[in-house]
Chain A
Amino acid sequence: MRISFMQKACFGLAMAAGVTLLPGLSIAKTFNLTVDKVLIDTGNFEKEGIGYNGKSPGPVLRFQEGEDVTINVTNNLNESTSIHWHGLILPFQMDGVPKISFPGIEPGETFTYKFPIVQSGTYWFHSHSGFQEPDGAYGSIVIEPEKRDPFRFDKDYVVQFTDAHPHSGKRILRNLKMSADYYNRQQQTIGDFFADVRENGFKATVDDRMAWGDMRMMKTDIEDVQGFTPLINGKGPHQNWTGLFEPKERIRLRFINSSAMTYFDVRIPGLKMTVVAADGNNVQPVTVDELRLGVAETYDVIVRPMDDKAYTIFGASMGRTAYARATLAPRQGMVAEIPEMTKAPLLTMADMGMDHGNMEGMDHSNMSGMDHSSMKDMDHSKMKSMDHSSMKEMDNSSMKGMDHSNMMGMEQDKDSFYANGSGLVPTAANGGKFLSYADLKAQKPLYEEREATREIELRLTGNMERYIWSINGVKYEDADPIVLQYGERVRFKFVNETMMTHPMHLHGMWSILDVGAGKWDPIKHTISVAPGTTVYSETEVDAPGQWAFHCHLSFHMDAGMFRKIVVEGGPKSASLNPSEQGVLQ
């Protein structure tokens, strides 16, 4: 049932045996990290930031599934710090969120993290204190599996995307609070107005501007914070990080998005990418031309360049204000063409939640009263027999629980993880296949499939003009924790009522994203929720203690889109095992 817990328990026994019976065999690895002020040079500008072991990004930490790791973190800053191991399943005291997991690491202190590695794949780590993460405090984690992965590769590279900004995080948030459009330099101008008049006519253009003006919202509001330089492994587009290969080699690229605010649409012109893992967990391979890398997500892809030539790894920011660029090449110094960014998307009324009125009109009690399992099994003919008027009122996104293959079959390029008519639906630059959440199927289910024991609705809310972000209309500072019971399976219903895309990250426990694939639903740590949509994920509550749950856009998180989760009950030993406690030295 709770496989991960069983694994942990078995593993703990094995560890104990290893340590006591075979003291000569070192299966516990020790790492040392210092948190330092560093210089970040993006090629476009230099700034003082924060890094690990003297660099930003910090090192790649290579763990082995099944081992115990000890990580000594020394704070050389003059402010408190912390490290959160993003996506790792571990005792909550090791999770590294100040005031939730532990008090934080004060200047000059060394905190020793100690935890067993119970998973494999691509993850990352970052500070969870103040604005240290947007200021550069991140690194990556690669965990080798106990058994070999079910796909072949000859070489692997971490490809870590970040968005370095000339302003400090603290200053960015202050500017946004002062003027929410401070960083938006893509606003529609008088020139756009006349261009639209030529294309759509005067009345249509005026009506359009009036409708948006009435809401006091902007179609171009896709990136709150512009003016950053995207980096790959710490290198700006001109500095061009390069990974070497021999033609015909299979290369595993571990895409990690450690940006503060920026989604990237990633492609490698001339190469197909076979997605083999999402958020560290293997998925059934799916071959795509392009994928959208949400903030805090990771995707592992395998590419196989056949020719003796260079290829560009190209990541255009979702709002198309900047791009990340790196190169795969047979020899250092070789470069390929840098493609043009495709046109910047514009939000539509669908993204603004124009379904919203309908959603409220929707009989809510009916919806939640609907037998969930029967929803999944619902076939098309039954849909037809459903009262048609009520169908219309149903928000499209809430139909996700239905048989997905049917949905996809209905319209090829419709992605049900975007609002119907959304301006944000991505299309591949070469006209090919763009990865959708709906394509993700777990390689091996981590949990037995079962009915969720209850549903918790989380409306993602905010006030763009005031730059206030919240959940269910309440900011973190004013909110009570969400209390879960150990052993339950909770179904989270994310209703995005804002115009922004929110990558929701639950600490300590997996989020099983409902793509309608039943037991093959993919296992993630970060769920991106597009504007005007409703997305469901389920969590087996198998980790006692208290955890963070938040939007991973740094400034949304800090502005209040954050909750503390308290898991009540569960084995005492798991929650307070002294050997797993960190030690302050």
Chain B
Amino acid sequence: MIDLKKSLLTAALPFSVLMPVVGHSAEMSNIYYGVQMEEFEYRYGEGGEELFAFDGDAFIGTDELKLRWEGSGELDLNVNRFESLSNQLALQTPISDFWDIKGGIRYSSPQGPDRWYAAVGLSGLAPQWIEVDTHLFLSEKGKLSADLDIEYEILLTNYLTLTPSANIDAAFSSDREIGVGSGINSVEAGLRLSYDVWDRILSPYVGVVYERKFGQTANYVEAEGESADIWYAVIGAKLMF
């Protein structure tokens, strides 16, 4: 329980930093802000696992420079502990019509040892409307890792959207303490069907998520008696405001 409180506190911290800035921005017309939850969902695994998962971001800034919080986490509801939890605060600036670079820090604080990372990233819109978000991380232990998120929206109608997505984590060297092996260590693929019920503010969805760990990372997971690959049914909502 204490661990959960700590983790939630960590998650809430960036908001307490951003919010006063948001309030102040009301007077400055060229400063914009936004909050988005791409994933905010309940997951039910094939082995009875129950998780709450989220993946979102918030930004404030101008066309030229934004401060962006990105957060994601998976809370195991059966044992009330975070399987993963990370918060990142970065400055972001455009480098071309469709691409931004960002640099900042990430704090990963799931159950078990925490890690600080220096992060640099690239995000934007690739040709054919593919949304891309990728980072390179250097941990306080001097270990290099990377992630890549891609997403595509298929409009069944102008309100009903099918969104395939993929998320790949890779490490250039292993960090046994936090259960990370070198090489591609996990892939998560999702397919979510959402419907915009209230502008783009609230779009409930159902979907499936497949998660698979590879290599040493898979070994670490299996050593803990968990499965290296798992299917989830998910229900949740996209939020944007």
Contact = CB atoms under 8 A, between A and B. Distances in A.
Interface of A: 130, 173-175, 177-179, 182, 185-191, 210, 213-214, 216, 463, 465-466, 468, 475, 477, 558
Interface string B96-110: 011000000000000
Interface stretch (B111-119, B122-130, B184-192): B122-130
Contact of A463 (B32, B97, B154): B97
Given A178-B34, A178-B36, A213 B129 contact: yes
A463 B154 CA distance: 23
A187 B240 contact: no
B156 A189 contact: yes
B118 to A, nearest CB: 27
Interface in B155-207: 155-159, 199-200
Contacts of B129: 213, 216
Given A178-B240, A465-B97, A214 B128 contact: yes
Given A216-B125, A465-B97, A174 B155 contact: no
A210 B240 contact: no
A145 B159 CA distance: 52
Contacts of A130: 29
B33 interface: yes
Contacts of A173: 32
28 contacts: A173-B32, A174-B33, A177-B32, A177-B63, A178-B32, A178-B36, A179-B200, A179-B240, A182-B199, A185-B158, A185-B159, A187-B155, A188-B155, A190-B154, A190-B155, A191-B156, A213-B127, A213-B129, A214-B127, A216-B98, A216-B125, A216-B127, A465-B125, A466-B63, A466-B97, A475-B63, A477-B30, A558-B29
Given A214-B128, A465-B98, 14 more contacts: A173-B32, A175-B200, A177-B34, A177-B63, A178-B36, A179-B240, A187-B155, A189-B156, A189-B157, A191-B157, A213-B128, A213-B129, A468-B63, A558-B29
Nearest to B62: A477
Contacts of A179: 200, 240
Top 7 nearest A-B pairs (CB, nearest first) are A178-B34, A213-B128, A177-B32, A189-B155, A185-B158, A214-B127, A468-B63
A187 to B, nearest CB: 6
B45 interface: no
Nearest to B156: A190
Contacts of A175: 200
A476 B30 CA distance: 11
A475 B94 CA distance: 15
Interface class of chain B by DSSP? loop
Interface of B: 29-30, 32-34, 36, 63, 94, 97-98, 125, 127-129, 154-159, 199-200, 240
Contacts of B157: 189, 191
A558 B30 CA distance: 9
Contacts of B32: 173-174, 177-178
Contacts of A191: 156-157
Contacts of B240: 178-179
Nearest to A477: B30
B154 to A, nearest CB: 6
B123 to A, nearest CB: 12
A210 B155 contact: no
Nearest to B26: A170
B230 to A, nearest CB: 30
Contacts of A178: 32, 34, 36, 240
A182 B32 CA distance: 15
A178 B201 CA distance: 12
Contacts of B29: 130, 558
B226 to A, nearest CB: 37
B70 to A, nearest CB: 15
A283 B76 CA distance: 74
Contacts of A189: 155-158
A472 B154 CA distance: 35
Contacts of B30: 477
Nearest to A181: B200
B153 to A, nearest CB: 9
Contacts of B200: 175, 179, 182
Nearest to B129: A213
Contacts of B125: 216, 465
B128 A174 contact: no
B42 to A, nearest CB: 25
A14 B32 CA distance: 52
A187 B157 CA distance: 9
A130 B27 CA distance: 11
Contacts of A186: 158
Nearest to B36: A178
A179 B36 CA distance: 11
A189 B156 CA distance: 6
Contacts of A465: 97-98, 125
Nearest to A174: B32
